[in-house]
Amino acid sequence: MDDQSTRGRAMRYYVGVDIGGSNIRTIFGTDTDILLKLVSPSRKTGPVDTVVLQVIEIIESGLKILHISKVDIFGIGTSSASPFVDEGTRIWTPNISGVGNDWKDIPYMKPLKEHFGDHLIYALANDCVSSVKAEQLFGAGQGYQNLVYVTISTGVGGGIIANNHLVEGKSRNAAHVGHLVVEKDGDQCGCGQRGCIESIASGKAIARRAYERGLTNPEGNRLTTKEVFDLYRQGNPTAQALIHETIEYLGMMFSGIISIADPELIIIGGSVFINNKDIILDRLVEYVMKNSFPAISKGVRFVESELKDFVGDLAGLSLIFPEEIIQSWQKLKPWTKTGFSIQEV
């Protein structure tokens, strides 16, 4: 692609926000580059509008650093932990709501628009829903119209694109695959249900279940998820049995996803998977193919996330980019460059 589509007009700026339980990450980009990334610990105390006020504060800080005005912004795309309520305009996530506060639903879209103006493009999506879009545009999903993205990390989540359309649902809560129940009367999940795959296969759940089975460090304390997998590699039978069981439960989830979404491609990301792909992937695929409807599962490919740690950075931006900027970023891959500034605020 040449730059004819961007010649003769003022520079446009794009803001991507990634709201997580631990941090809010905000990317400032142009037609061709990433200029700045700001990282700020998520605030969880104060009035119910604390989150959106923090996002506004972070964006204003970025504008000041870059010496630009809010009138220069083309759009703000937000990728957030969810679920959402009120037709997808408010956030109610167990990673933030009720964690040291009594927030039931967090206002987001309305205050954001009131502050920055109606001239901007705005978008809000679940973090994994926006991640599947990012993977389709810039990662392993390029060229596919029917794909699924699943993260296995601190939590478990997913996103679906069907016939080239992002599946969002009535309140933008589609593809909450981490809350598929795979075990009757299983462990309590943060969502209130029992037996969710997230309560079994997330990083936190693996560490907890290992402790419950007597795996501890020399001081008798809980192991990290990494240490559980280290024991697996060392041949510890308890760790191996636990991980094999976990993979089978994940296989149940993926078998269900295939039956529902009928994808060509399944992209898996998240630290638990990426750091342990050598243990998980082949066994997982074998289980899924043995325990799914062959007419649907035949030909489905399982691959690792290509964007990996960059997927959160690109998720919000992928929701607001015009087609010509998508093509520009596909060609230039600015997220792979090291020249942009990363600051904590």
- Note down pLDDT in tens along the chain; length 345 residues: 445 555 556 789 999 999 988 899 999 999 999 999 999 999 988 999 999 999 999 999 999 999 999 999 999 999 998 877 777 678 877 778 777 788 878 899 999 999 999 999 999 999 999 999 999 999 999 999 999 999 999 889 999 999 999 999 888 889 999 999 999 999 999 888 999 999 999 999 999 999 999 999 999 999 999 999 999 999 999 999 999 999 999 999 999 999 999 999 999 999 999 999 999 999 999 999 999 999 999 999 999 999 998 999 999 999 999 999 999 999 999 999 988 899 999
The dihedral built from the CA positions of residue 179, 184, 187 and 188, taken in this order, carries a sign that is positive
Q: Based on the number of CB atoms within 10 Å of its own CB, is 143 exposed (0-12), middle (13-18) or buried (19 or more)?
A: exposed
Q: Which residue ranges form the domains of the chain, and what is each CATH number?
A: 4-130+308-344 (3.30.420.40), 140-304 (3.30.420.40)
Q: What pLDDT does residue 1 have?
A: 42
Question: Token digits for 292?
Answer: 């799914």
* pLDDT score at 81: 83
C-alpha–C-alpha distance, residues 251 and 337, integer Å: 36
Structure tokens at 340: 């942009």
Long-range contacts of 230-233 (CB under 8 A, 24+ apart): 232/279, 233/279
Query: How crowded is residue 337: how many other Cβ atoms within 10 Å of its Cβ?
Result: 10
- Residue 2 has a pLDDT of 46
Q: How far apart are CA 273 and CA 283, in angstroms?
A: 12
Dist CA 101 CA 91 (whole Å): 14
Gap between the Cα atoms of 269 and 275, Å rounded: 10
**What is the spatial distance between Cα 242 and Cα 225, in angstroms, rounded to a whole number?**
12
Q: Which strands sit side by side in the sheet containing 265-269, from one edge to the other?
A: 165-166, 156-162, 147-152, 265-269, 301-304
Q: CA 307 to CA 129: how far, in whole Å?
A: 15
**Which tokens in the block code for residue 29?**
């980009």
- In this prediction the pTM is 0.91
The size of the chain, in residues, is: 345
pLDDT on residue 21: 82
**How many CA atoms are closer than 13 Å to the CA of 345, on its beta-carbon side?**
23
